[in-house]
Structure 1
């Protein structure tokens, strides 16, 4: 009987100790870090999900496509329009490579995907520009 009482007391003590610190006091607890997604990976995933007609034979190399969105964001930061960016004579930021190209309607979609992943603060403006031009 004495061993049972000791066992019960030990079990109660263990339960009490186990519950210490779990009373909802999270002041000392560190928040669980959120997993970060690479902007380039996010962009490429959205390009693949978009199933753009320009890329039915294969999506261009990620390294080539990922080069464009940061440049688009820089151009938008500098006050340029989507039309300026995609103009061959002005911005020269039309998404095309040595062995691949992008149809114009897909280029607009690609810009939106890039802006969404890299500089979402411009997404609304880009969407409005494309709507006003009748391209989106």
Structure 2
């Protein structure tokens, strides 16, 4: 079920890019151009691959879970810690009908940081190591 949800999400993102409706050939990207992956696809794929205990019966909807990483990045941008985000910051990954174990929440923050704001990965990793969570 996890793989199906991730595959459907990836398909939805790829088809959202649209197609060229006229018969003119499209220009190929230059060798120096790099294709970027939507951070939501990267994040949900990483969550699926992580096989977190909290989501053994199914990963929360991507709209619900995917709302957290951009907020985590904003908090990291202004200097907040992971502990603050998951505590007083009110950014603990939980929904009305789903929850996340604390150890999995730490891993989610790291996965979200890798996908959305990789410039903070070092700080998040260092904090989690210091707390014994990585």
- Band the TM-score falls in, shorter-chain normalisation: 0.7 to 0.9
* Pairwise CA distance, 1:36: 2.2
CA distance in 1, matches of 2:110, 2:129: 12
* Pairwise CA distance, 1:135: 1.7
* Pairwise CA distance, 1:133: 1.1
* Pairwise CA distance, 1:134: 1.4
SS at match of 1:93: coil
Larger radius of gyration: 1
Q: Pairwise CA RMSD of aligned residues?
A: 1.4
Larger displacement relative to structure 2 (52-61 or 32-41) = 32-41
Which residue pairs with 1:93 in the alignment? 91
Structure 1: where are the runs of 5+ without partners?
A: 1-29
* Pairwise CA distance, 1:57: 0.6
CA distance in 2, matches of 1:132, 1:37: 31
* Pairwise CA distance, 1:41: 0.6
SS at match of 2:30: coil
CA distance in 2, matches of 1:108, 1:67: 16
Moved over 4 A (4+): none
Aligned residues: 106
Which residue pairs with 2:38 in the alignment? 38
Which residue pairs with 1:118 in the alignment? 116
| CA deviation profile, 1:5-42 (whole Å, cap 9, x unmatched) | xxxxxxxxxxxxxxxxxxxxxxxxx7144322101011
Structure 2: where are the runs of 5+ without partners?
A: 1-28
